[in-house]
Amino acid sequence: MSAQKPSVPKGTRDFSPIEMARRNYIFDTIRDVFCRYGYQPIETPAMENLSTLLGKYGDEGDRLLFKILNSGKYLDKIDGKALAEKDQTGITRLISDKGLRFDLTVPFARYVVQHRNDISFPFKRYQIQPVWRADRPQKGRYREFFQCDVDVIGSDSLLNEVELIQIIDDVFTKLEINAVVKLNNRKILAGIAEVIGEAENFGHITVAIDKLDKIGIEKVNEEMLAKGVSRDAIDKLQPILTLEGKLKEKFPKLLEILKDSPTGLEGCKETMTVMRHLKDLGINAKFELDLTLARGLDYYTGAIIEVKATNMAMGSICGGGRYDDLTGVFGLEGISGVGISFGADRIYDVLLEQDRFPDAYHASSKVMFVNFGDEEVKYCLPVINRLRKAGINTELYPDAAKMKKQLVWANNKGIPFIVMAGTEEIKNKKFMLKDMNKGEQEQLTEEELIKKLKRLSQ
């Protein structure tokens, strides 16, 4: 038997203890903030029916869905004609009816519709789970990654938008990441498309102007022209794209531009209301109106939110927006929701690159007892038990191995304290406590040992 080289699928990763400690630091921080604002956790299955997922993320999203092959004799359903014509979409529908979830928002909408009778609206939920995308991996882009979603569903109030941005601010303040929150509104974008006379090209226009800071205005114009946007409309768009200045100056200009579009004016008003609240609250993060912020997901209808870490060549670390009709496709009309999603894996990469992980987080147990043999173990075990009951993370090395091996092991594991109890200590009813960082050691009674370690565990 030839040994196969072990590996994990492309774009997926193992997480070792040190990585888990850091990841849990992120999850714990985010979860704490979510709870502080009264959001409640739910979980949904890794897989959903394809009918739930398809058509919610645009064509690109459908392509990136991982599909799960049906069980049983799935080939029986396929006729030779479809195979001969290589009708991939048609065949896929026949052999796969489940897929891995692509995000947490669509499964949440499904959940809300399904459990509508048990939910009292507005419903505030959070959800921290992995999602999967069949994308080609790159820096900060994985095929399996964790999203931390918070959503309010069943409330139109703009206070929800404000609250979500407060949550963003709290999370990144706690994680010590300098973040800038970019805001826009689909209604503003729709209004712009309307006033330049290209309402039907809304999609093409937003996709193109989304790339403005990346490829420049020339290429954006080229792309729009190629997609069938008229020269005249592109000319009209230029002053809007290059709108500069402070918010105070931007909004009056925008209101003037959008004066013939009720939708656009409404989006503008909404964004102004949200920003006014934010200004009054005085949040730490910078926030700005970014008219080029579009976001590809099809279901957004109102506010669009995106967060980037400053000074980092990385995609957004948090994103979201308002969706008015998402539950409608599952048969529950008139329920509007708004939510955001923190990308835990990208936040991890930012924290690692900026060296912002607290050291204390990777510690395992506080103290390890050296194993000298049966007699000594018998002496130590009850004390170890009492240390644990006192809330001190304690472990005993399982084998009576050489002292050196046991100390190296403790050292590698980052255990800060060692207890040695051999014949001498047993005779005196004492314990030798060694501080691994300072190299100092002292003999203590059990009572003193517990007291000291308890103090050091704070």
Which positions lie near RNA, rule CB under 7 A? 2, 5, 7, 9-12, 58, 60-61, 64, 103, 133, 135-142, 145, 147, 207, 210-211, 214-215, 294-297, 306, 313, 315-319, 341, 343, 345-346, 372, 402-405, 407-408, 411-412, 420-425, 432, 434, 436-439, 441
Q: Of the two residues 258 and 425, which places its CB atom closer to RNA in the complex?
A: 425
Q: Of the two residues 198 and 345, which places its CB atom closer to RNA in the complex?
A: 345
CA–CA distance from 250 to each of 226, 243, 272 (Å)? 29, 7, 11
Q: Of the two residues 111 and 299, which places its CB atom closer to RNA in the complex?
A: 299
Burial of 245 (0-12, 13-18, 19+ CB in 10 A): exposed
Task: Tell me how far apart the alpha carbons of residues 294 and 92 are, in angstroms, rounded to a whole number.
Answer: 31
Residue among 372, 432, 421, 368 nearest 400 (CA): 372
Q: Of the two residues 140 and 267, which places its CB atom closer to RNA in the complex?
A: 140
Q: CA dihedral in degrees (5, 6, 12, 17; nearest 10)? A: -130
Q: Of the two residues 52 and 147, which places its CB atom closer to RNA in the complex?
A: 147
Q: Of the two residues 17 and 245, which places its CB atom closer to RNA in the complex?
A: 17
| Tokens describing residue 417 | 């304290």
CB of 177 to RNA, least distance (A): 12
CB of 118 to RNA, least distance (A): 28
Q: Of the two residues 18 and 281, which places its CB atom closer to RNA in the complex?
A: 18
Q: Of the two residues 10 and 389, which places its CB atom closer to RNA in the complex?
A: 10
Contact (CB, 8 A) for 416 and 366: yes
Buried b (16+ CB within 10 A) or exposed e, 365-378: bbbbbbbbeeebbe
CB of 275 to RNA, least distance (A): 21
CB of 340 to RNA, least distance (A): 8
CB of 188 to RNA, least distance (A): 17
CB of 159 to RNA, least distance (A): 23
CB of 25 to RNA, least distance (A): 17
Q: Which residue reads 């979830």 in tokens?
A: 101
Task: Tell me how far apart the alpha carbons of residues 217 and 219 are, in angstroms, rounded to a whole number.
Answer: 6
Q: Of the two residues 227 and 269, which places its CB atom closer to RNA in the complex?
A: 227
216: helix, strand or coil: helix
Count of CB atoms situated within 10 Å of the CB of 275: 19
Query: In sequence order, what are the residues at sequence separation of 6 or more whose Cβ sits closer than 8 angstroms to the Cβ of residue 340?
Result: 149, 150, 151, 164, 167, 168, 305, 318, 319, 320, 321
Chain-centre distance for alpha carbon 6: 28
Chain-centre distance for alpha carbon 49: 23
Buried b (16+ CB within 10 A) or exposed e, 428-457: eebbbbbebeeeeeeebeeeebbeebeeee
Amino acid of residue 369? F
Q: Strands 337-343 and 318-323, how do they pair?
A: antiparallel
Q: Of the two residues 195 and 294, which places its CB atom closer to RNA in the complex?
A: 294
CB of 117 to RNA, least distance (A): 30
Task: Determine if the peptide bond prior to 6 is cis (ω within 30°).
Answer: no
